[in-house]
C-alpha cells in the first residue's frame, strides 16, 4: 500500500481533478489518497508535514495539486524501491525518484528538456549529502519513500527549505537514494508554482546572477538555517557536513573557504561555486 499525500491550496478544480484521476489510474499498485487543504496558508512544507503525520502505509508518495502522473509512475518507482530493499533491507530509510516532463498551465507539453536536465545537475553527484545541503534538486512530486524514512524524518522543521529538501537530506544521510531516469510526471508550470522549472539551466544561472550578492547570501543563510536544524535534531549522528554548514557563519573568511573544500559543500556548476568562493 502506498499513501499518496496530496497537499492543496486553493486549487483550480480542473487541474486537481486531472491529478486525482491520474493517481486513480496507477496500475500494479494499491494506493490510499489523503488530501489536505492548507486553509491557514501555512505553506506546502507545513501542509505536507501535517499529511506525513497521518500516513501509516509502508510507502509514501507526495503529490502536488495540479500535475499529471503517467500510469506507471508508482509501479516504476516501486520496482526501483524493491531493488534497493533487496540490498539494504526495508528497515533502512530509502527514497527513489524520477524525472519529469514539463507542461504548460493547460497540460500541453512544453519541450526544451526535462525537469532535471533544466537544472543542470549531475544526479550521481547531486544525491550526496553535502551537495543536497547546498542545492536540492529532487522535487517532492517525483519521490517515493518507505516508512523507515518517514519515521526517521519526523515532522518537517520550519527551517527546512521545503518538505522535499528535508526528506532528501534524511535519506542521503541515513539511507539510500535511487533514481529512475524517465519522466514519470507531467509537471505543470504556471505562475502559482511553489517551485517551478520554466527556465533552462543557463537562464536560471543568469537570473540568479542578476539578483546580486545580497540575494545570494540570503539563500545561503537559508541553507545554513536548514543545516542547523538538521544538526540539532540528529546531533552526533548527523554527518560532519551538516555541523560544518551549521557553524559556517561563525567562521572567518578563510575558515569558511576551507570548510567548503573539506566538507564538499558545493553547488552544481562552475559559476555557482565561484560565487560561493567569492561571496560566502
Which domains are present in the chain? 2-188 (3.90.550.10), 201-279 (no CATH)
- Give dist(CA 67, CA 139) in Å, integer: 12
- d(C-alpha 130, C-alpha 115), whole Å: 22
DSSP calls for 86-131: HHH-TTS-EEEEEEEEEE-TTS-B--SS-HHHHHT--HHHHTSHHH
| pLDDT recorded at residue 36 | 96
User: How far is the C-alpha of 201 from the C-alpha of 272, rounded, in Å?
Assistant: 11
pLDDT in tens, the chain (280 residues): 999 999 999 989 999 999 999 999 999 999 999 999 999 999 999 999 999 999 999 999 999 999 999 999 999 999 999 999 999 999 999 999 999 999 888 777 887 889 999 888 999 999 999 999 999 999 999 999 999 999 999 999 999 999 999 999 999 999 999 999 999 999 988 755 445 555 545 555 555 556 678 888 999 999 999 999 999 999 999 999 999 999 999 988 889 999 999 999 999 888 889 988 988 8
The pLDDT assigned to 109 comes to: 81
Cell output for 126:
547531486
Amino acid at each position: 500500500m502506498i499513501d499518496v499525500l496530496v497537499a492543496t491550496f486553493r486549487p483550480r478544480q480542473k487541474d486537481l481533478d486531472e491529478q486525482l484521476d491520474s493517481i486513480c489510474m496507477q496500475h500494479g499498485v494499491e494506493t490510499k489518497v489523503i488530501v489536505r487543504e492548507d486553509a491557514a496558508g501555512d505553506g506546502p512544507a507545513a501542509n505536507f508535514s501535517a499529511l506525513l503525520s497521518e500516513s501509516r502505509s509502508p510507502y509514501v508518495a507526495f503529490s502536488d495539486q495540479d500535475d499529471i502522473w503517467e500510469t506507471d509512475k508508482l509501479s516504476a518507482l516501486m520496482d526501483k524501491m524493491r531493488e534497493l530493499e533487496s540490498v539494504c533491507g526495508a528497515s533502512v530509510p530509502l527514497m527513489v525518484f524520477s524525472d519529469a516532463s514539463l507542461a504548460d498551465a493547460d497540460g500541453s507539453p512544453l519541450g526544451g528538456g526535462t525537469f532535471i536536465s533544466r537544472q543542470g545537475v549531475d544526479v550521481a553527484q547531486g544525491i550526496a549529502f553535502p551537495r543536497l545541503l547546498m542545492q536540492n534538486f529532487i522535487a517532492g512530486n517525483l519521490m517515493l519513500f518507505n516508512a523507515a524514512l518517514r519515521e526517521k524524518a519526523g515532522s518537517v522543521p520550519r527551517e527546512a527549505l521545503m518538505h522535499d529538501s528535508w526528506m532528501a537530506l534524511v535519506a542521503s544521510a541515513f539511507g539510500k537514494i535511487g533514481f529512475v531516469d524517465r519522466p514519470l510526471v507531467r509537471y505543470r508550470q504556471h505562475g502559482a508554482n511553489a517551485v517551478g522549472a520554466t527556465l533552462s539551466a543557463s537562464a536560471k544561472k543568469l537570473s540568479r546572477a542578476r539578483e546580486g550578492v545580497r540575494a545570494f547570501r540570503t539563500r545561503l543563510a537559508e541553507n545554513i538555517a536548514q543545516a542547523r536544524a538538521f544538526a540539532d535534531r540528529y546531533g552526533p549522528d548527523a554527518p560532519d557536513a551538516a555541523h560544518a554548514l551549521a557553524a559556517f557563519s561563525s567562521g572567518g573568511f578563510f575558515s569558511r573557504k576551507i570548510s567548503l573544500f573539506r566538507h564538499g559543500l558545493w553547488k552544481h556548476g562552475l559559476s555557482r561555486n565561484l560565487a560561493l568562493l567569492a561571496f560566502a
